[in-house]
Amino acid sequence: MAGDAKTVNARELAALASGAKLSRRQLIGLAIVLVGAIALPWFVTDYRTFQFTLAVIYAIAVLGLNILTGFNGQFSLGHGAFYAIGAYTAAIMMSQWGVAYYWTLPAAGAVCLVAGFLFGLPALRLEGLYLALATFALAVATPQILKYDPISPWTGGVQGVTINKPDAPFGLPISQDAWLYYFSLVVMVIVFVCAWNLLRGRTGRALKAIRDNPIAASAMGVNTSLYKSLTFGVSALYTGIAGALGAIAVQFVAPDTFNFFLSVTFLVGVVIGGLASIPGAIFGGLVIVFIPNIAEDVSQAAPWAIYGVFLILFMYFMPTGIWGFIRLLYAKFARRRRAG
């Protein structure tokens, strides 16, 4: 048994070193999930479709934070700030300059990449809790800065900015909600593939090496400060794209929606979905959207208490997150089949 585990490990390591490719079974699983995701709007109401759109958007944001926290070991309690920057970039471009909604995504990504990189530079000096505090400060400051009077011609002050929901193009006979869902889904697939490519090769190994032992990593010739600040930038880019999508989906941005709690929510998504795992981010997005709903069904009076209980129970029973739990089940199943 132990020997078995070791060979699997060795195989995994070899796969990692060569730039892991997906096995046939994994590809089939992926295809099934994708078909399911495409078919979804036909089976649920527009409101549910909208919720799934949000889940997709949050999954992108969670992946962004996961790249930073899970793969690179840098804490952030402030990713709500990058989400806000992305959302405001999109909203201002659409409402003030009349830019088409799909062009706002690269712009939001670029703005956040720069913002994240710049924030990552002083963050290099800080580690662990101190970094958590610095990002915490960022999260808390965000709504206040957005409300700040001199910039209100652009940000709309406390009221925020309202934007229009895009219609389906080419006269496609689907509702706005369904179109938005597909649009977000396509964006998600693109950015997830990018993340997978980024993380499975040399760069990914460097990031993990820095997480596991920064001194050893730099001794191996990894430029730790460059990688760490770039990771901050890329992570912010993902979250910024999610923010822009989020603004388009809810057609509205206002300072108080980007509070500290949003940043905490992303962290919850990362940990419950599965730390340092790309598919985990999708579960993270689903958890963020649907667990509060379920909690409300359980108790109207104190839904957040139920939510808190859910969080604690998740950590008791799935300490490695949902994806870790699935992998564990799969490994058990595979081992039993091999034994029998």
Partner 1 sequence: MDLFLQQTFSGLAFGGIYACVALAVVMIYQATDHLNFAQGEMAMFSTYIAYSLLHHGIPYWWAFLLALGISFVGGVLVERIVVRPVEGTGVLNEVIVFIGLLVIFNSLAGWIWDYTIKPFPSPFPKQVPFGITFVGPHEFGVIGITLVVLLAVFLFFRYTQVGLAMRAAAQDPASARLVGIRVGWMLALGWGLAAAIGAVAGIMVAPIVFLEPNMMDGILLYAFAGALLGGIGNPVGAVVGSLIVGVVENLVGTYVPFVGSELKLSVALVLIVTVLVFRPSGLFGQVVVKRV
By CB under 8 A, name the binding residues for partner 1.
69, 122, 125-127, 129-130, 132-134, 136-137, 140-141, 144-145, 147-148, 213, 215-216, 264, 267-268, 270-272, 275, 301-305, 307-312, 314-316, 319
Q: Which is nearer to partner 1, 56 or 276 (CB)?
A: 276
Q: How far is the CB of 321 from partner 1 (least distance, A)?
A: 9
Q: How far is the CB of 238 from partner 1 (least distance, A)?
A: 19
Q: Which is nearer to partner 1, 41 or 274 (CB)?
A: 274
- Picking from 83, 85, 249, 248, the residue whose alpha carbon sits closest to that of residue 151 is 85
Q: How far is the CB of 127 from partner 1 (least distance, A)?
A: 7
Other CB atoms within 10 A of residue 321 CB: 25
Q: Which is nearer to partner 1, 7 or 300 (CB)?
A: 300
Per DSSP, 221 falls in state: T
DSSP 55-74: HHHHHHHHHHHHIIIIIT--
User: Rounded to whole angstroms, what are the CA distances from 302 to 263, 295, 296?
Assistant: 22, 9, 8
Q: Which is nearer to partner 1, 11 or 125 (CB)?
A: 125
- Alpha-carbon distance of 93 to 89, in angstroms, equals 6
CB-based contacts of 37: which residues, under 8 Å, 6+ apart? Answer: 185
Q: How far is the CB of 312 from partner 1 (least distance, A)?
A: 4
Q: Which is nearer to partner 1, 242 or 275 (CB)?
A: 275
Other CB atoms within 10 A of residue 292 CB: 16
Question: Are the CB atoms for 77 and 135 separated by under 8 Å?
Answer: yes
Q: How far is the CB of 186 from partner 1 (least distance, A)?
A: 31
Q: How far is the CB of 126 from partner 1 (least distance, A)?
A: 6
- Tell me, rounded to whole angstroms, the distance of Cα 138 from its chain centroid: 18
Q: Which is nearer to partner 1, 99 or 311 (CB)?
A: 311
